[in-house]
Amino acid sequence: SLQQHIPKGLKSPPGPRGYPILGNVLELRKDTHLALTKLSQKYGDVMEVRIGMRPVLVLSGLETIKQALVKQGEDFLGRPDLHSFRYVADGQSMAFSPDSGEVWKARRKLAQNALKTFSIAPSPTSSSTCLLEEHVSKEAEYLVTKFLQLMKEEKSFELNQYLVVSVANVVCAMCFGKRYEHNDQELLSVVNSAEQFNNVAGAGYPADFIPLLRYLPSRSMKAFIDFNKSFLSFLQKIVKEHYETYDENNIRDITDSLIEQCLEKKVETNTATQIPKEKIVNLVNDIFGAGFDTVTTALSWSLLYLVTYPDIQKRIQKELDQTIGRERRPRLSDRGTLPYTEAFILEVFRHSSFLPFTIPHSTTKDTVLNGYYIPKDRCVFINQWQVNHDEKLWKDPETFNPERFLSADGTKVNKEEGEKVLVFGLGKRRCPGETIARWEVFLFLSTLLQQLEFSVCDGKKVDMTPIFGLSLKHKRCEHFQVKQRFPMKSRN
């Protein structure tokens, strides 16, 4: 690297030598998580690679990542100013914009409060425990009916297109008090092009690091920009409707509660911060955007593992039958009583590591990590995939085995083991939707599996090879089938 002033006694992190101009981009372009995991075995938990001319710090190892994101949390909570991120929510995103100062902190708090009120807080108006339970139960029940109908009509089907609408409906209900039909073209065009986002937002997208590439025509970049535009206008339309029908005595959903925050002048009066109005209401973009593709991907991988390992599926169903029975539907409060189901979900998170990296971080000041000097504004990749497959932490990490999370007698989830799984990030940028996401995945899966047995058509195999991006996806599978496990009772 160029001459850099490094304080005495400290060194720069080690890393592979790269080509001039390109750096290490060629070796990192495909399956970036695997390439960086391999390099970390040679260079260590604190490593520096170059993508184009730009140095990137790559962190591996659970202890090192905790040291950076938790113990030195303030130093590592920034976001890099990446070219592609400027197109997310017009550059105003709480999750992707480079802002990580007082405004970001205040926005994050507002988002967390609004999220909580309309998901897991006890519901005064509903017979369910909370609104999240009500929404997920309803959508999962709809999916059961839909899948059975598809079996009658088509004999097999593709799962994802139905999952994505159901999961989007849950976050839509929280954000907008609104639900869409499964053939709603406007919603479908938004949720189905989320893939365009995923491709470009994955760690190490070359045009973010090599300015020259921005001047060459790029199909993926154009699709990314188009997606962000139509996503924004889809949301702006709904927000506008909310302003027009807003009633301070009837706060209907997250959007209303954010509008309420804008109208209340007392927001963060103790700091110099005056958050611009738009930056409060458009938090709904971050919440909606982060809330549907991630959970859909989690469910989609879960069902893929279940059809690949039918014995595991049977064991979950046995547990559901024994603990909940068939007379009533699963509830969120059942979660603590279904250790095998819980262990399965943890193993899906670990083994798939479908968010292989967090959103990139950057340093907010010059700092030192494990004795290495790291300058301010250094882009940082957090390799979650490496942690979840680290031989120092896991026995046979490549084996899919939910039992690794159970106590010796199989009656409890081993909490410490569960906490080693890294998919929601850690520290000050840790996913604010984590609790919601874990509950949602649990309730969707337990409701589906209580009633349905999933499989693929005879002679078909599912392809579990992950496709790299912000989240790891699998190839489309058109051959899903379901069988009803027992005659359906009408509800209640």
Where does this chain bind ligand HEM (CB under 6 A)?
94-95, 108, 111, 115, 171, 286-287, 290-291, 294-295, 298, 355, 358-359, 423-425, 429, 431-433, 436-437
Supply the minimum distance, in Å, between the C-beta of residue 96 and ligand HEM: 7
Per this entry, what is the length of the chain? 492
Strands 372-374 vs 46-51: parallel, antiparallel or unpaired: unpaired
Burial of residue 295 (CB within 10 Å: 0-12, 13-18, 19+) is buried
Q: Count other Cβ atoms within 10 Å, centred on residue 488.
A: 11
The whole-angstrom distance between residue 177's C-alpha and the CA centroid of its chain comes to: 22
- In the complex with ligand HEM, the residue whose CB is nearer, 252 or 460, is 252
As a whole number of angstroms, the distance between CA 181 and CA 179 comes to 7
Supply the minimum distance, in Å, between the C-beta of residue 269 and ligand HEM: 23
- Helix 339-352 vs helix 310-323: crossing angle, to nearest 10: 150
- In the complex with ligand HEM, the residue whose CB is nearer, 350 or 404, is 350
- In the complex with ligand HEM, the residue whose CB is nearer, 317 or 388, is 388
- In the complex with ligand HEM, the residue whose CB is nearer, 210 or 436, is 436
135 within 8 A of 256, measured Cβ to Cβ: no
- In the complex with ligand HEM, the residue whose CB is nearer, 423 or 452, is 423
- In the complex with ligand HEM, the residue whose CB is nearer, 292 or 340, is 292
- In the complex with ligand HEM, the residue whose CB is nearer, 115 or 210, is 115
- In the complex with ligand HEM, the residue whose CB is nearer, 13 or 432, is 432
Checking 249-254 for CB contacts under 8 A at 24+ apart, the result is 252/177, 253/118, 253/173, 253/174, 253/175, 253/176, 253/177, 254/114, 254/115, 254/117, 254/118, 254/174, 254/175, 254/176, 254/284, 254/287
292 within 8 A of 194, measured Cβ to Cβ: yes
404 within 8 A of 394, measured Cβ to Cβ: yes
| CA geometry: angle 38, 204, 92, nearest 5 deg | 145
Supply the minimum distance, in Å, between the C-beta of residue 55 and ligand HEM: 19
Strands 379-382 vs 54-59: parallel, antiparallel or unpaired: parallel
Query: Which alpha helices (H) appear in 126-218, and where do they start and end?
Result: 131-154, 160-176, 185-192, 194-201, 206-209
- In the complex with ligand HEM, the residue whose CB is nearer, 33 or 108, is 108
- In the complex with ligand HEM, the residue whose CB is nearer, 18 or 45, is 45
Supply the minimum distance, in Å, between the C-beta of residue 4 and ligand HEM: 26
Strands 452-456 vs 480-484: parallel, antiparallel or unpaired: antiparallel
- In the complex with ligand HEM, the residue whose CB is nearer, 198 or 481, is 198
Supply the minimum distance, in Å, between the C-beta of residue 192 and ligand HEM: 19
Supply the minimum distance, in Å, between the C-beta of residue 283 and ligand HEM: 8
Structure tokens of 210? 């090599």
Supply the minimum distance, in Å, between the C-beta of residue 241 and ligand HEM: 21
Nearest-CB residue for ligand HEM: 433
Supply the minimum distance, in Å, between the C-beta of residue 429 and ligand HEM: 4
**Element spanning 374, H or E:** strand 372-374
Supply the minimum distance, in Å, between the C-beta of residue 445 and ligand HEM: 12
Supply the minimum distance, in Å, between the C-beta of residue 358 and ligand HEM: 3
Please list the residues that pair with 275 across neighbouring strands.
none
Supply the minimum distance, in Å, between the C-beta of residue 291 and ligand HEM: 3
As a whole number of angstroms, the distance between CA 72 and CA 59 comes to 13
| Burial state string for 401-424 with b = 16 or more CB within 10 A and e = fewer than 16 | bbebbbeeeeeebbeebbebbbbb
- In the complex with ligand HEM, the residue whose CB is nearer, 291 or 466, is 291
- In the complex with ligand HEM, the residue whose CB is nearer, 200 or 431, is 431
Burial of residue 396 (CB within 10 Å: 0-12, 13-18, 19+) is exposed
Supply the minimum distance, in Å, between the C-beta of residue 307 and ligand HEM: 20
Supply the minimum distance, in Å, between the C-beta of residue 301 and ligand HEM: 10
Structure tokens of 118? 């309309």
